[in-house]
Chain A
Amino acid sequence: MTAAATKTPLPLAGCTPADGGNPLGANIDYEYFMDCVHCGLCLGSCPTYVETGNENDSPRGRIYLWRAVADGRAELSPEAQGHLNLCLECMACETACPSGVQYHNIIHSFKKDMTRLAPPAPTVTALQRFMLFNLTPFRDRMRLALLPVRILQMIGLGGLVRLGGKLLPKSLRSMQEIVPDLHAHHNLPEFLPAIGPRRAKVGLMLGCAQDAFFPQANLATALVLQHNGCDVVIPKAQGCCGALHAHAGLDKEAATLAMTNCHVFDKALGGLADCDAIINNAGGCGPVIKNYGHMLEGGDCTKEGSLFGKKAKDIMEFLAELGPVKPKYPLKLNATYHDACGLAHAQKIRSQPRQMLAMIEGLSLRPLNESEFCCGAAGSYNITQPEMSNTLGERKAKNVLETGAEAVLSGNVGCLLQMIRHIRDHKPNFWVAHPVEALAAAYTGKRPVGLRKNA
């Protein structure tokens, strides 16, 4: 405790800041540490702690560790680094914390410092890094990369993809394993008019991985918006929201992507102020987009960033606020709903998706045990921490299958990929989809593409 006042950093174990700059942990407002009163009420909500039972893998433990490093009371040993890296950033602890600890700021401080360390975190190979930060965030590159898979699946040789995956180096296998069955890609036009009386004008963000893996969810989102009386503007030049980079502590790269989106949407919408909302449908992206104001603070784009952040809305959140039009067609479906962390914990969006789904005649929602427990997808976590990701994926699959439902709906691309991967071995025909796909079916009367008859 006395060490708190005097921050003299110890020499680092095995890693030094590459820039020789500030000592580790100096990049954080110390008050964030002080918010934690060490009560431990977060422990039961933390997936990694629940799995390992090691308090170093709990939110309280991680805060304690990082603070001790910042205080110079402990060295950042490889073990300590491992525990901090194991964090999913699911923010279940922020939901559980009565003291209002802003855990995301604390873990981000660690992540940011990790980018300064040489060598970089050993959990990710150079090839994986390239794919994560130079391929995934770019829709066109991603679609191109997935083209062979799409073709093979189309001609009924999808099995080859999985077989071929076994020949890949281990570092790429985990990336290959997450590829789901791909559906036809629709090139959405830049403008889709409202159906019925016009009630709002919105921009639509397509996302990067979302658009590559689940183009049907983007199409569904546009349709649902149209049926709710929205003019939908979908700028072609839009890009990744920057979430992958931001979570990895690559703030500068994330800001560049954010800035691009600000400019592109500003132009396409005829001024950001002129639209009612900018819609996204990936729960993991939402919190980052809403944070654009903070991300772009002090740059050339501060005002646009803050306006963009304010206009950003998750599709379900927006529909609930707008007051949804009741869908016309029934969809007979026994489903359950998984709360994506980015929605439930980071954006506090829990009731809205359920409320929207409740409007669909014939659809019943079964309660899911541990519905707010992270599925282990957590952005690029399935690549950086495959072991824990697998454990949590299996845990989620077990809970989902125990509901006896025939489908699980969840509003985030990462969760969908993860659940598909872990459920398909148990039940190949189980429908894993974005809730907006069920909604679109109820508005249009068309059966969702992924929902098989014998599900």
Chain B
Amino acid sequence: MDAKILDQLRAVVGPAGMITNDSELLVYECDGFTIERNKPEVVVFPNDTAQVSRIVKICHQAKVPFLPRGAGTSLAGGCLPIGGGVVISLARMKRIWEVDSRNRFAVVDPGLVNVWLTNQIKSSGWHFAPDPSSQGACTIGGNVATNSGGPHTLKYGVTVNHILGVEMVLPDGEIVMLGGPVEDSPGYDLTGVTVGSEGTFGVACRSWVRITRNPHGYRTLLGVFETVDDATEAISGIIAAGIVPAALELLDSLILRAVEEAFGFGFPLDAGAVLIMEVDGIEAGLDEEASRIEEIAKKARAREIRRADTEAQRLLLWKCRKQAFGAVGRLAPSYCTQDGVVPRTRLPEMLRTIRSISEKYQIKIANVFHAGDGNLHPILLFDERDSEQVKKVLDASTEILDACLSMGGSVTGEHGIGVEKISFMPKLFSPADLGMFARLRKAFNPDGLCSPGKMLPTAGACNEAGHVHTDGAHAPNKPGRRAAL
């Protein structure tokens, strides 16, 4: 990178606020998705929105690509710096500016770790509802970028339902305020459009987030089933009965093994699947609802049903679920998590398909997922040092996601498109739909310098407004793609 640009950046963040050394930059070459890697040319650590704006202005003027990064826990390569350029790490912006419980909102920095907000407000009876499994590390800015979900979004909704406003630095450096603490503001819902845009509309800085009252009580049940089919039957039964559980999570036998090894919860290792079923709300009626769930699960041939009697048991159960991805590190050196969605009723069929794909490619696949909304997380296990296996994993992934699409589903429920699923966009959307996406992005990000190569197939290489090459699954000038092969 041009030394002049580096000097300009240094003037903004100071020498301690940037990295230019090769070995240090290496750490920023990928995120939770390690199959593709590319080193940025510089990483900067701004302290506030004004600094972000100045950094972006420098990039904009010099025509250098840039992208924001929180904790780098994306499983879809959302933080992969395509084309090198500048990574804007928001990790030093982690203040809680304001907690206004009477008006039910908090104002937070983008680098604030998700669970820190909840930790800060839980003693006064509040929490931040989006609870992605990585909430102990991932940042709220990242949640805004990817519209994160989590086990409890079945009842409480995903991130977009909890963001009232975003202070955003547009790709030319201008600072705009989208939405705000007041509900139902007139004009276009730019907050809604921005949440989930994966950093392609600008850099989300401070957010006005909704805080949620802690429920009075929980009932957390663990259903043990002989087969995955039985467990999914129970899921459909619960939803059909009109119950809205706070969470409904399925773990299959392979993932149970990993989780049990990690946390020693006492899961039955011979079970085909277990279902974590949680209802919450005001105390009155919770027991009744839990009994109804128990009945439905028994009807679906549950072998046994356990209840978390203490808060400690409940928290351990959730820890097991939330850290399940990481725990598979005990089964194989590398893993690739998919994020497919199918209509709930087709879960058994989808799981059978996954099993046959696993056999076909001789790749072990573990399943842990948000069963309540049909959001699957098949985890493909492999060894990244074996390029043969890497190829198989990519092919098997594609086949799984294609199957999701053919069942009327989608290729991502919450992890985002990133770079990993970009090739599926043309399968998911018509050329007209994609054209609309591209025009929208162009309105925010006309030069395509902000988070290039993400979300849409042609990745900012597109010169013609609104035109998208729908065959362009692999942008030719995109470095890093399938570098592993």
Answer yes or no: are A and B bound together in one complex: yes
Q: Is the CB of B137 within 8 A of A42?
A: yes
- Interface pairs (20), CB distance under 8 Å: A1-B483, A4-B385, A34-B334, A37-B34, A38-B30, A39-B326, A40-B32, A41-B73, A41-B134, A41-B326, A42-B137, A43-B72, A43-B137, A44-B116, A56-B19, A56-B27, A64-B26, A73-B26, A74-B22, A74-B23
Please indicate the chain A residues that have their CB under 8 angstroms from the CB of B24 in the complex.
Answer: 54, 56, 77, 79-80, 83
Please indicate the chain B residues that have their CB under 8 angstroms from the CB of A53 in the complex.
Answer: 45, 89, 91-92, 94, 111
Q: A1-B37, A43-B71, A53-B111 in contact; A98/B324 too (CB < 8 A)? A: yes
A244 proximal to B (CB < 8 A): no
A135 proximal to B (CB < 8 A): no
A55 proximal to B (CB < 8 A): yes
Q: Is the CB of B26 within 8 A of A68?
A: yes
A272 proximal to B (CB < 8 A): no
Q: Is the CB of B89 within 8 A of A96?
A: no
- Find the residue from B24, B27, B45, B72 having the highest chain A CB count within 10 A: B27
Q: What is the CA–CA distance of A48 and B316 in the complex, to the nearest angstrom?
A: 27
Q: Is the CB of A39 within 8 A of B73?
A: yes
A29 proximal to B (CB < 8 A): no
Which single residue of chain B is at the shortest CB-CB distance from A33?
A: B333
Total A-B residue pairs with C-beta atoms closer than 8 Å?
A: 135
B59 proximal to A (CB < 8 A): no
Please indicate the chain B residues that have their CB under 8 angstroms from the CB of A98 in the complex.
Answer: 262, 323-327, 329
Q: Is the CB of A39 within 8 A of B261?
A: no
Q: What is the CA–CA distance of A386 and B328 in the complex, to the nearest angstrom?
A: 38
Please indicate the chain A residues that have their CB under 8 angstroms from the CB of B385 in the complex.
Answer: 1, 4-5, 34
* A interface size (C-beta, 8 A): 41
Q: Is the CB of B384 within 8 A of A1?
A: yes
Q: Is the CB of B136 within 8 A of A38?
A: no
Q: What is the CA–CA distance of A68 and B113 in the complex, to the nearest angstrom?
A: 28
Which single residue of chain B is at the shortest CB-CB distance from A101?
A: B329
Docked complex: B145-171 residues within 8 A CB-CB of A: none
Looking at the assembled complex, report how far the CB atom of A98 sits from the nearest CB atom of chain B, in whole angstroms: 3
Other 6 A-B pairs with CB < 8 A, given A37-B334, A39-B326? A39-B325, A41-B134, A43-B137, A53-B45, A80-B24, A100-B327
Which single residue of chain A is at the shortest CB-CB distance from B30?
A: A38
**Partner of B134 from A37, A39, A76, A101 at Cβ < 8 Å:** A39
Looking at the assembled complex, report how far the CB atom of B256 sits from the nearest CB atom of chain A, in whole angstroms: 14
Query: How does the 8 Å CB contact mask read for B188-214 relative to A, with 1 for contact and 0 for none?
Result: 000000000000000000000000000
Query: How does the 8 Å CB contact mask read for A8-49 relative to B, with 1 for contact and 0 for none?
Result: 000000000000000000000001001111111111110001
Query: How does the 8 Å CB contact mask read for A83-98 relative to B, with 1 for contact and 0 for none?
Result: 1000000000000111
Q: What is the CA–CA distance of A248 and B34 in the complex, to the nearest angstrom?
A: 32
B128 proximal to A (CB < 8 A): no
A75 proximal to B (CB < 8 A): yes
Q: Is the CB of A64 within 8 A of B27?
A: yes
Mark A residues whose CB is within 8 Å of B.
1-2, 4-5, 31, 34-45, 49, 53-56, 61, 64-65, 68-69, 73-77, 79-80, 83, 96-101
Looking at the assembled complex, report how far the CB atom of A101 sits from the nearest CB atom of chain B, in whole angstroms: 7
Q: Is the CB of B19 within 8 A of A54?
A: yes
Q: A1-B385, A53-B45, A99-B329 in contact; A39/B32 too (CB < 8 A)? A: yes
B484 proximal to A (CB < 8 A): yes
Q: What is the CA–CA distance of A32 and B169 in the complex, to the nearest angstrom?
A: 41
Please indicate the chain B residues that have their CB under 8 angstroms from the CB of A74 in the complex.
Answer: 22-23, 26
Q: Is the CB of B136 within 8 A of A96?
A: yes
Q: What is the CA–CA distance of A184 and B328 in the complex, to the nearest angstrom?
A: 53
Please indicate the chain B residues that have their CB under 8 angstroms from the CB of A100 in the complex.
Answer: 261-262, 327, 329-330
Please indicate the chain A residues that have their CB under 8 angstroms from the CB of B41 in the complex.
Answer: none
Which single residue of chain B is at the shortest CB-CB distance from A38?
A: B34
Indicate the size class of the contact surface on chain B.
35 or more
Q: What is the CA–CA distance of A56 and B113 in the complex, to the nearest angstrom?
A: 18
Please indicate the chain B residues that have their CB under 8 angstroms from the CB of A31 in the complex.
Answer: 333
Q: Is the CB of B71 within 8 A of A44?
A: yes
Q: What is the CA–CA distance of A65 and B92 in the complex, to the nearest angstrom?
A: 21
Q: What is the CA–CA distance of A31 and B94 in the complex, to the nearest angstrom?
A: 35
Looking at the assembled complex, report how far the CB atom of A10 sits from the nearest CB atom of chain B, in whole angstroms: 10
Q: What is the CA–CA distance of A2 and B37 in the complex, to the nearest angstrom?
A: 12
Q: Is the CB of A77 within 8 A of B22?
A: yes
Looking at the assembled complex, report how far the CB atom of B482 sits from the nearest CB atom of chain A, in whole angstroms: 11
- Find the residue from A39, A45, A77, A97 having the highest chain B CB count within 10 A: A39
- Considering the complex of A and B, which 9 residue pairs feature the smallest CB-CB distances, nearest first? A99-B329, A98-B326, A53-B91, A98-B323, A34-B333, A53-B92, A40-B73, A44-B137, A74-B23
Mark B residues whose CB is within 8 Å of A.
19, 21-24, 26-28, 30-32, 34, 37, 45, 71-73, 89, 91-92, 94, 111, 113, 115-116, 134, 136-138, 261-262, 323-330, 333-335, 383-385, 387, 390, 483-484
Q: Is the CB of B111 within 8 A of A38?
A: no
Looking at the assembled complex, report how far the CB atom of B481 sits from the nearest CB atom of chain A, in whole angstroms: 14
Please indicate the chain A residues that have their CB under 8 angstroms from the CB of B27 in the complex.
Answer: 55-56, 61, 64-65
Q: What is the CA–CA distance of A224 and B328 in the complex, to the nearest angstrom?
A: 44
Please indicate the chain B residues that have their CB under 8 angstroms from the CB of A40 in the complex.
Answer: 31-32, 71-73, 134, 137-138
Q: Is the CB of A41 within 8 A of B137?
A: yes
Q: What is the CA–CA distance of A73 and B115 in the complex, to the nearest angstrom?
A: 35
Which single residue of chain B is at the shortest CB-CB distance from A35?
A: B329
Q: What is the CA–CA distance of A4 and B334 in the complex, to the nearest angstrom?
A: 13
Q: Is the CB of A99 within 8 A of B328?
A: yes
**Partner of A41 from B21, B37, B136, B335 at Cβ < 8 Å:** B136
**Partner of B333 from A35, A44, A61, A68 at Cβ < 8 Å:** A35
Looking at the assembled complex, report how far the CB atom of B121 sits from the nearest CB atom of chain A, in whole angstroms: 13
Q: Is the CB of A37 within 8 A of B329?
A: yes
Q: What is the CA–CA distance of A65 and B27 in the complex, to the nearest angstrom?
A: 7
Please indicate the chain A residues that have their CB under 8 angstroms from the CB of B113 in the complex.
Answer: 44
Which single residue of chain A is at the shortest CB-CB distance from B72?
A: A40
Please indicate the chain A residues that have their CB under 8 angstroms from the CB of B73 in the complex.
Answer: 39-41, 43
Looking at the assembled complex, report how far the CB atom of A238 sits from the nearest CB atom of chain B, in whole angstroms: 35
Q: Is the CB of A55 within 8 A of B23?
A: no
Which single residue of chain A is at the shortest CB-CB distance from B323?
A: A98
Looking at the assembled complex, report how far the CB atom of B96 sits from the nearest CB atom of chain A, in whole angstroms: 14
Q: Is the CB of A2 within 8 A of B22?
A: no
Q: What is the CA–CA distance of A351 and B335 in the complex, to the nearest angstrom?
A: 34
Q: A53-B111, A97-B326, A100-B329 in contact; A38/B22 too (CB < 8 A)? A: no
Looking at the assembled complex, report how far the CB atom of A147 sits from the nearest CB atom of chain B, in whole angstroms: 42
Q: Is the CB of B329 within 8 A of A80?
A: no
Looking at the assembled complex, report how far the CB atom of B141 sits from the nearest CB atom of chain A, in whole angstroms: 13
Q: What is the CA–CA distance of A272 and B262 in the complex, to the nearest angstrom?
A: 33
Q: Is the CB of B328 within 8 A of A80?
A: no
Q: A34-B333, A77-B23, A99-B326 in contact; A55/B28 too (CB < 8 A)? A: yes
Q: A43-B71, A80-B23 in contact; A37/B328 too (CB < 8 A)? A: yes
Q: What is the CA–CA distance of A65 and B222 in the complex, to the nearest angstrom?
A: 41
Which single residue of chain A is at the shortest CB-CB distance from B90?
A: A53
Q: What is the CA–CA distance of A45 and B27 in the complex, to the nearest angstrom?
A: 18
Please indicate the chain A residues that have their CB under 8 angstroms from the CB of B323 in the complex.
Answer: 41, 98
Q: Is the CB of B136 within 8 A of A2?
A: no
Q: What is the CA–CA distance of A54 and B43 in the complex, to the nearest angstrom?
A: 9
Looking at the assembled complex, report how far the CB atom of B414 sits from the nearest CB atom of chain A, in whole angstroms: 15
Please indicate the chain A residues that have their CB under 8 angstroms from the CB of B134 in the complex.
Answer: 39-41
Q: What is the CA–CA distance of A61 and B24 in the complex, to the nearest angstrom?
A: 9
Please indicate the chain B residues that have their CB under 8 angstroms from the CB of A37 in the complex.
Answer: 34, 325-326, 328-329, 333-335
